[in-house]
Structure 1
């Protein structure tokens, strides 16, 4: 078993006034050669966008981009003609493929929007771009792990061009569970959304990140009421 711990206060901090972003991995003006990625997990940005503000139209290609709103409403427009709003409980996927342009704005005029933006390197290049979003039953993650992403279009959650599985859990204090790695050789990166958890005896606090590799399964214990995002990804 190998592990890597990224404490919340060691993340890159970019405050642009209207946007406050915390970068787990190197991104934009934040660069740390020791924190470029975790396997094919390339970006984990913890973003807060002021009311009425947002990202103007910009382009992506050959990246799987997952957005998970935590608070507020995020408006999305793209070059494929999609115009949608995503909110807490939704998951959005953009398979950028050969290229897509999009914008993202806080749809609220009275409060910030908070969301996670996650980039995963795909296992297929130059695919036809695709957009999807789903609304999840948040009760399905109470004291269990709710799958929100997989490689299989027929499986629960959104799907991406990569052998990756994401789960969300919301646990009561004292709850224990086990995660079993779905594909041999994959690693799992845990991101603590709130509260305090232990993974194989490693104590973790809100917004800490913890990567674990070369293991088949591990135990999770909720030391307080807590929420977690697990991202299982190939390491090469």
Structure 2
């Protein structure tokens, strides 16, 4: 087994007044040769957007873009005509493909919105742009992993153009779970949303990231009430 630890306080940080963003991997003004990606996982941004503010319309292409709200309401609009509000419990996917332009803003004028913005390199280029989102029940991830993203529309979760599986888990103190990596050659990047966990002897805390690869499985134990996101992705681009 190989591992890499990215503590919360080692992340890049940008504060623009209306936007407070922490970057696990190199992004915008934060550049680190050692922190470019984890396999096909290219961006993991932990964003807080002030009330009524947001990102204006901007383009993307040939990237799978995933948004996971942690609190508040995020408003999405794109040039395919899609308009949507995503909230805690929702997972949104946008396949940029041949090109798409979109905006994201805080739908509320009385509170901030917190969300994860994640980019994954696709395994197919030049696909038609597409948008999808699903709502997932919190009780279905109590002390276990709930799959929210997969490579197939016939599997659980929202699907993307990559052999990647994302799962969320909410754990009580002392709860434990084993995770089997979905595909040979994949690794898992664990992001601790809240609380404290231990993975194969490594203690992890709020907003720490931990990559695991060259293994078939690993074990997780919750040391407090904890919420985690697992991103099971190919390790080769």
- How does the TM-score come out when normalised to structure 1? 1.00
Q: List gaps (5 residues or longer) in structure 2.
A: none
Q: Which residue of 2 aligns with 1:26?
A: 26
Q: Which residue of 2 aligns with 1:147?
A: 147
* Corresponding position: 1:68 with 2:82: no
Deviations along 1:96-130, one digit per CA (max 9) or x if unpaired, are 00000000010011110000000000000000000
Q: Which residue of 1 aligns with 2:58?
A: 58
Counterpart secondary structure, 1:140: helix
Q: Which residue of 1 aligns with 2:208?
A: 208
In the TM superposition, what is the alpha-carbon distance from 1:89 to its structure 2 partner?
0.2
In the TM superposition, what is the alpha-carbon distance from 1:138 to its structure 2 partner?
1.2
* Corresponding position: 1:230 with 2:221: no
Counterpart secondary structure, 1:139: helix
Q: Which residue of 2 aligns with 1:37?
A: 37
Q: Which residue of 2 aligns with 1:77?
A: 77
C-alpha distance in 2 between matches for 1:178 and 1:16: 40
C-alpha distance in 1 between matches for 2:153 and 2:113: 29
Between the two proteins, the alignment pairs up a number of residues equal to: 236
In the TM superposition, what is the alpha-carbon distance from 1:149 to its structure 2 partner?
0.2
The 5 Å alignment of 1:1-236 reads 1-236=1-236
Counterpart secondary structure, 2:103: strand
- How does the TM-score come out when normalised to structure 2? 0.99
In the TM superposition, what is the alpha-carbon distance from 1:23 to its structure 2 partner?
0.1
C-alpha distance in 1 between matches for 2:21 and 2:199: 26
C-alpha distance in 1 between matches for 2:37 and 2:99: 22
In the TM superposition, what is the alpha-carbon distance from 1:36 to its structure 2 partner?
0.1
C-alpha distance in 1 between matches for 2:173 and 2:125: 43
C-alpha distance in 2 between matches for 1:213 and 1:136: 27
Counterpart secondary structure, 2:140: helix
C-alpha distance in 2 between matches for 1:198 and 1:80: 43
Deviations along 1:165-221, one digit per CA (max 9) or x if unpaired, are 000000000001100011011000000000000000100000000001100010000
C-alpha distance in 2 between matches for 1:213 and 1:144: 21
